[in-house]
Amino acid sequence: MHPRRGNWRPTPFQRRSYACVYTESMPNRSKDWFNQALRDLEQARDSLQAGRHEWACFAAHQAAEKAVKALHLRLGQEAWGHVIAQLLRELPPETPAPPKDLIERAMVLDNFYISTRYPNAHPDGAPFEHFGSLQSEQALEHAGAILEFARSKMA
């Protein structure tokens, strides 16, 4: 049964793990995921230019998340979840470990998954009031580094 449908419940190991192996019969959609990651990065740039810094940060997070999921698919497994740092840590063991710097970049982006969209992620004010060009420029830089890492491993 599909993990996200029906009465499926994760085992203790699965609760700690976001990645699960898929079978050869599944089509490899890694290019689709990576192409969407590139598009999300474009959206992040457009949002930065428009001064919508919360959206630039969120789109940068989405770009990095989708790039890492594309890499997982390319390497023969499907990845679940939204924590980019964890997704990077759970790449298959035969893949060289991502540099510590890249994990730290992912950790910065992980902070943008909820806080950029939901007012109750802040003591007061709407999310757009808590993000500026400094955050969105850094988010784009971090996402770009993660996309480049994924691209290099997918080649």
pLDDT band at 9 (very low <50, low <70, confident <90, very high): very low
Q: Could you give the residue ranges of the DSSP H alpha helices within the chain?
A: 12-16, 30-49, 53-74, 84-89, 100-110, 112-115, 133-154
Residues 89-147 have pLDDT tens digits of 999 988 889 999 999 999 999 999 999 999 999 999 999 999 999 999 999 999 999 99
d(CA 91, CA 73): 10
Q: Which domains does the chain have, with CATH numbers?
A: 22-154 (1.20.120.330)
Res 6: pLDDT: 44
Res 22: pLDDT: 55
User: Whole-prediction pTM value?
Assistant: 0.86
d(CA 9, CA 25): 24
Give the mean pLDDT of 51-74: 98
Residues 21-42 have pLDDT tens digits of 554 667 889 999 999 999 999 9
Residues 97-107 have pLDDT tens digits of 999 999 999 99
